[in-house]
Amino acid sequence: MSCDYFELANPGIQKLHPYLAGKPVSELERELGISNIVKLASNENPIGLSEQVKIAIEKEFTDGCRYPDANGHYLKAAISEKIDVSPNQITLGNGSNDVLEMIAKVYVQSHHEVIFAQHAFCVYPIVAQSLGATLVEVPAKEWGNDLPKMLEAITDKTRMIFVANPNNPTGTWLGESELKAFVRKVPKNVIVVIDEAYTEYVTDDSIPNTIEWLSEFENLVVTRTFSKAYGLASLRLGYAVTSEEICGLLNRVRQPFNVNSFSLAAGIAVLNDEAYLQKAIEVNKGGMQQLIGNCEELDLKYIPSAGNFLTVDMGQNAMPIYQKLLLKGVIVRPVANYSMPNHLRISIGLEFENQKYVDSLTQILS
């Protein structure tokens, strides 16, 4: 007799859908047989790898057959110095998605509820659902986190709340006073995860430095990544900053050698390459103006964004526009799976890449 292997799967897993990634350039090339494709779909850094990173990676070839430093000693030291926390508060991950999963694994059980906002990053429901927890999606306010409503959603079953600041895919952000007042009101037995994947792009004080709050809030977890402004998306590197106690627990579920030697070296190199980060921020600022200018020209509404992307309301079902952009060799990101069927999320690229999108969209809509 055969088995139903779907029915055998954990109930939480049965309800999951695989993550939908941005379409790879090579895939579109295969499908259409065209080149000169521009990918503005995954919030990657368009300026390429830091030259310092390339040098650091090459040096790692020498010991490439050895396991990496399991504790990431030197990278943690470099991060520790940069953000002024103890290395014992840092947990490294294979991308910040890895640490988001570790945090949920440590604290969330199947009888718990996990709160996040409508249009929040899809990894939060994926990790909570895979543990069999109940997902509590709180309706958004002007596309962002509605913090008072999220507080109201807390019950005695709530164990974790995810807040991205800035948020993806909407680009919305929360200021110091509202976010801090929220964290203060969350019960101590509920872990608050603030996901700061885009924080380096925010150079003024419109978003808070939540790392400074860690001494005040023991239930706070801050996650960051090297995938965006630091340009290491391919190397998969992120980290969580927590109390030393939570860090110790994360270290129990962390897979041995979850961060490879090349990524460890790359992280140190790019943290030391201040010019790279500044360039990334400048290119992003210019590109943001370019995309906003195009929205105004075409009379399209957009969600003001603090990230490296702009989410634009096409004023109609966006899927046909996405398809037409593909035919012109421009890959952007549909966000219907985030219940935003009329929007497209455009990652900010280099000037000529943004221009190719702008020209293509202008042709499609005229």
Chain residues that interact with ligand PLP, rule: CB under 6 A: 43, 95-97, 121, 164, 168, 195, 197, 225, 227-228, 233, 238
Give 98 or 113: the residue with its C-beta nearer to ligand PLP.
Answer: 98
Least distance between ligand PLP and beta carbon 48 (Å): 17
Give 68 or 238: the residue with its C-beta nearer to ligand PLP.
Answer: 238
Q: How far is 7 from 9, CA to CA, in rounded Å? A: 5
Give 172 or 219: the residue with its C-beta nearer to ligand PLP.
Answer: 172
What residues have CB less than 8 Å from 230, skipping those under 6 apart? 45, 50, 200, 267, 270, 271, 276, 277, 280
Give 91 or 225: the residue with its C-beta nearer to ligand PLP.
Answer: 225
What residues have CB less than 8 Å from 297, skipping those under 6 apart? 362
| Number of other residues whose CB lies within 10 A of the CB of residue 301 | 12
Hey, what are 225's tokens?
Answer: 């990544």
Least distance between ligand PLP and beta carbon 305 (Å): 12
Least distance between ligand PLP and beta carbon 224 (Å): 8
Contact 131, 15 (CB under 8 A): no
DSSP three-state, residue 162: strand
Residue nearest to ligand PLP (CB): 95
Angle at 186 between CA 183 and CA 192, to 5 degrees: 65
Least distance between ligand PLP and beta carbon 310 (Å): 14
Angle at 307 between CA 226 and CA 122, to 5 degrees: 75
Give 117 or 358: the residue with its C-beta nearer to ligand PLP.
Answer: 117
Least distance between ligand PLP and beta carbon 152 (Å): 23
